[in-house]
Amino acid sequence: MASAPRHIIVIGASAGGVEALTRLVRDLAPDMGAALFVTLHFPPDSTSALARILNRAGKLSAAHAADGQQIEEGKIYLARPDHHLLIFRDHVRLYRGPRENGNRPAVDPMFRSAAIAYGPRVIGVVLSGNLDDGTSGLLAIKRRGGTAVVQDPEDAMFPAMPQSAIEHVAVDHVVKLDQLAELLNELAKRPPAREDIVASDDARKEIEFAELDLGRIEDAADHPGVLAPFGCPDCGGTLWELREGDLVRFRCRVGHAWTSEALLASQSETLDAALWTALRALEENAALSQQLSSRARRRGNDRLADRFADNAELAMRRAGTIRDVLLQETKPRHEREEEAEAATGGIRLRAAAREQMSGDDD
């Protein structure tokens, strides 16, 4: 009979995560006395080869988790593409619940569920990745008495995820990747702490969102947080604002969740798509107006031709403005700053020249 683990180690990563996980499992002790759970961001329609990669790299057995699977010591359970991996007492569940920060699987639901189920026995680890998935979940782990471990951002291929965790969570250990396995081997040998810390109601509600508990979701009065003046990028619904210390997050009626950074990134993508759509519409409008102007002029209706020509010119000017904005964003920031400085410098020179001329007139 498989033995229950002393500790639960939950690991979250995104960009650069495969390389980091491969190096980590290489030095993990097969008798470390813990069960490990990994969420790595995958596209929803992808096929994950992570289990095969980790099995070749280390001595612990790695496999994609199955719904309802029992938790055993010495195993690595991997989140499947397009499913959140949630941890309960003695077993795991897979859910196609609402995306968090645009991701499914997402790190935060796994971290929160582990914190509620195992409290001080949880060791949360945030590795390389973009934006800030994992920060909220790591806060939940700390509030239940667990241990927070973060890869040194200077050592990470993509430092944003570990940097966000350090900025918002009272992290216990910040280590380079080469030292991480040794630390986890040591932490896993410690006796488990007493589990007498109660999870907050908001943390439990968020697990119900991740499970897509329709009874909870449809009870609008029971939402955690307060109404925010933003729409959800995934469904357009109203967002509720949740504050965890300095960390601000948002969740909509059906459960989509966003950190401030992820919400801003998604809004930027939406704005970019809208600008390209506007550019296309204006250029098509200009082309059609030019055609109509030519037809009217061939029929001798110069007044109508001039009106269509004016409309084409206006549409092209507007399209040119939008095109300049879109192309400007593709330039490196230092180039944009240099151009802005040059432009403002030119304005200052022209203003100085006008002042000089005014003085000469006096």
User: CA torsion sign, 100 to 103 to 107 to 111?
Assistant: positive
Q: Kindly state the tokens that stand for 175.
A: 């280590």
Decide: 266 and 102 in contact? Cβ < 8 Å. yes
Phi/psi of residue 196, nearest 5 degrees: -120, 20
243's torsion region: left (phi>0), alpha (psi -120 to 50) or beta? beta
41 is catalytic: yes
Decide: 33 and 6 in contact? Cβ < 8 Å. yes
14 is catalytic: yes
14, 113, 164, 289: which one is catalytic? 14
84, 133, 155, 289: which one is catalytic? 133
Question: Beta strands 84-88 and 91-95: pairing type?
Answer: antiparallel
Dist CA 81 CA 54 (whole Å): 16
Residue pointed to by tokens 């934006």:
131
Single-letter code of the amino acid located at 68: G
Kindly report the number of other CB atoms within 10 A of residue 256's CB atom: 22
Dist CA 343 CA 349 (whole Å): 10
Q: Which residues pair with 241 in a beta bridge?
A: 226, 250
7, 41, 84, 256: which one is catalytic? 41
Hey, what's the torsion of the CAs at 285, 288, 294, 299, to 10 degrees?
A: -110
Q: Which residues pair with 64 in a beta bridge?
A: 78
Q: What secondary structure does DSSP assign to 16-33, as a single string?
A: THHHHHHHHHHT--TTS-
Q: In the Cβ-directed half-sphere of 115, how many Cα atoms lie within 13 Å? A: 33
Decide: 138 and 111 in contact? Cβ < 8 Å. yes
- Could you give the residue numbers annotated as active site? 14, 41, 133
